[in-house]
Amino acid sequence: MSHYKLAPSILAADYANFESELKRLEATGVEYIHIDVMDGHFVPNISFGADVVAAMRPHSKLVFDCHLMVSNPEHHIESFARAGADILTIHAEATQHIHGALQKIKAAGMKAGVVINPGTPIASIAHVLNLADQVLIMTVNPGFGGQAYIPEMAEKIAELAQLRDEKGLQFDIEVDGGIDNQTIHSAREAGANVFVAGSYLFRGDLDTNVQILKVALHD
């Protein structure tokens, strides 16, 4: 089985029909559902919170990959655990206590992810990598779907992959923002293995677009 995973972002789906959107995504054979939680404070936009995730949970067996773009994410760990999140990924920039917050995510029974914005260096998370099941490298500035992939992030992904090997760690490397049938190659070659895609997948035929990205990962 491939270690590559696709994580469609529900942010680009039809919000009035999450149940049918989840079924439609599941039928395409993707591995994760990427759920973007925005608080209007850490990022300028507001999306949805743990109650919406809880409402979606009975309608999908896929891995719920929750990306919290919220200030003080440590205040929301228990509510996302109760809502049925499988992976909880929090921004290093959003808390003064990233180490403790990652420990709390694991203690709550979820996989722990840490994410950094395009301007944040890998060095800022070097000492928490041992706690991470997943490290997310933002390839856009977070807040909105439909933005352009920042090509300079490939160097950062490669730096992270090298550090992971040096430390003998196993975490997944996820990328998020502007992933399409072109940019996915740059991210993969740099060392990413989990690919979030929103606007690319939902523009046109979802199933066709998923298959195009799957082919891109296997050619």
* CA of residue 84 relative to chain centroid, distance: 16
Name the residues that contact ligand DX5, by CB under 6 A. Answer: 9, 11-12, 34, 36, 67, 140, 142-147, 176-179, 196-200
Query: Which among ligand DX5, Zn ion, none contacts residue 32 (Cβ within 5 to 8 A by kind)?
Result: none
Chain position carrying tokens 């190659």: 185
Q: Which residue, 31 or 103, has its beta carbon nearer to ligand DX5?
A: 31
Of 126-185, which residues contact Zn ion (CB under 5 A)?
A: 176
Q: Which residue, 125 or 179, has its beta carbon nearer to ligand DX5?
A: 179
Query: Which among Zn ion, ligand DX5, none contacts residue 113 (Cβ within 5 to 8 A by kind)?
Result: none
What size, in residues, is the chain? 219
Element (H, E) at 77: helix 77-83
The answer to the question of residue 65 lying near Zn ion (CB under 5 A) is no
Coil, helix or strand at residue 96: coil
- Hey, which residues are catalytic here? 36, 176
Residue with smallest beta-carbon separation from ligand DX5: 198
Closest by CA position to 98, among listed 113, 85, 110, 84: 113
Cα Dmax for the chain: 46
The answer to the question of residue 67 lying near Zn ion (CB under 5 A) is yes
Considering the complex, what minimum distance in angstroms separates the CB of residue 201 from ligand DX5?
A: 8
Closest by CA position to 215, among listed 1, 4, 63: 4
Residues 6+ apart with CB under 8 A from 16: none
Coil, helix or strand at residue 80: helix
Q: Which stretch binds Zn ion (CB under 5 A): 31-39, 44-52, 94-102, 159-167?
A: 31-39
Considering the complex, what minimum distance in angstroms separates the CB of residue 177 from Zn ion?
A: 7
Q: Which stretch binds Zn ion (CB under 5 A): 29-37, 80-88, 166-174, 200-208?
A: 29-37
Query: Which among Zn ion, ligand DX5, none contacts residue 21 (Cβ within 5 to 8 A by kind)?
Result: none
CA distance 131 to 189: 25
Q: Which residues bind Zn ion (CB under 5 A)?
A: 36, 67, 176
